[in-house]
Amino acid sequence: MQVPKRLQPLVEEGVIDDVVRQLMSGKEAMVFVVRAGGETRCAKVYKEADKRSFRQAVDYTENRKTKNSRQSRAMAKRTRFGRAAQERAWQSAEVDALYRLAAAGVRVPRPYNFHEGVLLMELVTDAEGNAAPRLNDVELTAQEARDWHARLVAEVVRMLCAGVIHGDLSEFNILAGADGPVIIDLPQAVDAAGNNHAPAMLERDVANLRNFFGRWAPEILASNYGDEIWSAYQSGTLTPATSLTGRFVREEKAVDLEGVVREIGDAEREEAARLMRIATA
């Protein structure tokens, strides 16, 4: 096929040998099957900000840092330069997350290169060697649903142990690879320790898995891995080997009503004394 304009520089520099075909076009990027170094890989070409529908919500970008103070100021002011810098930061977030997660043993596509808005990475395939389908296009048996749910909960744990929360995990960004589920699409990945929305995003990711696999194995719908995982993470006891039950009961402490009344009374008396001092001064 004709080489797309955005891939032409990589062909000219020898990073890509040939473009085989377009694999998909999504809300934030187009993906092509390419040949590079004698291997078949995929190239993710990020769409420009004004040509894609996914919004860079502040919930996702909270606490993302840039080392360049000029870029930080420009990004805050939303200047043209700042918007371009923000776009580069959004794209590089996925690259950083992929390298970080791959090093931690999370099953994500292996990244190879990132150049001018193009991410070159592993092409995930099915058992026949074809591009792997997304999980939402796969029919499962009840036992397959149980097995895949357990594997993906373990991947979520492994991600969190590496300090990362996917933030948008669902059947639409998980591939059914020959060796099991592979997690994709990470530009909105969240820093677990530095984002106030991290607990809610983790719970949403886990709930999406629960609701999807619960279609085939209804007992999964009664599980509560999200709160259990986050509680272990907060207590510093979470590891990839942590044994989970899927059950979690939040500890409710009884309210000391008498203590609350005493506190209110003390505050009222202190305020009355303060006003008296002002009146007699």
DSSP 148-214: HHHHHHHHHHHHHHTTEE-SS-SGGGEEEETTEEEE---TT-EETTT-TTHHHHHHHHHHHHHHHHT
- Given this model, what pLDDT does residue 122 score? 96
pLDDT in tens, 52-97: 444 445 454 555 454 545 544 444 455 555 455 555 656 678 899 9
Q: State the sign of the Cα–Cα–Cα–Cα dihedral 45, 194, 201, 61.
A: negative
- Given this model, what pLDDT does residue 153 score? 98
Please state whether beta strands 180-183 and 174-177 pair in parallel, antiparallel, or not at all (unpaired).
Answer: antiparallel
* Catalytic residue status for 17: no
Name the DSSP class of 4. P
Contact 32, 7 (CB under 8 A): yes
- Given this model, what pLDDT does residue 251 score? 62
Tell me how many degrees the CA angle 87-89-94 measures, rounded to the nearest 5: 105
Q: Can you read off the two tokens belonging to residue 143?
A: 């036992």
Contact 183, 169 (CB under 8 A): yes
- Given this model, what pLDDT does residue 267 score? 77
pLDDT in tens, 189-199: 999 998 999 99
- Given this model, what pLDDT does residue 194 score? 86
Domain-wise residue ranges, the chain = 5-235
> H or E stretch including 105?
none
Q: Can you read off the two tokens belonging to residue 127?
A: 């058992």
Enumerate the β-bridge partners of residue 21: 33
Contact 251, 234 (CB under 8 A): no
C-alpha 100/C-alpha 165 separation (Å) is 12
- Given this model, what pLDDT does residue 144 score? 96
* Catalytic residue status for 266: no
CATH classification number, 5-235, choose in 1.10.1040.10, 1.10.275.10, 1.10.510.10, 1.10.132.20:
1.10.510.10
| Backbone dihedral region for residue 142 (phi beyond 0: left; psi -120 to 50: alpha; all else: beta) | alpha
Enumerate the β-bridge partners of residue 45: 30, 118
Percent pLDDT > 70 in the chain is 81
- Given this model, what pLDDT does residue 83 score? 52
C-alpha 76/C-alpha 94 separation (Å) is 21
- Given this model, what pLDDT does residue 273 score? 76
Q: Which of 185, 191, 256, 266 is catalytic?
A: 185
pTM for the model stands at 0.77
Enumerate the β-bridge partners of residue 164: 191
- Given this model, what pLDDT does residue 88 score? 60
Q: Which of 50, 137, 147, 168 is catalytic?
A: 168
Q: Which residues of the chain have pLDDT under 50?
A: 51-56, 58, 60, 64, 66, 68, 71-76, 82
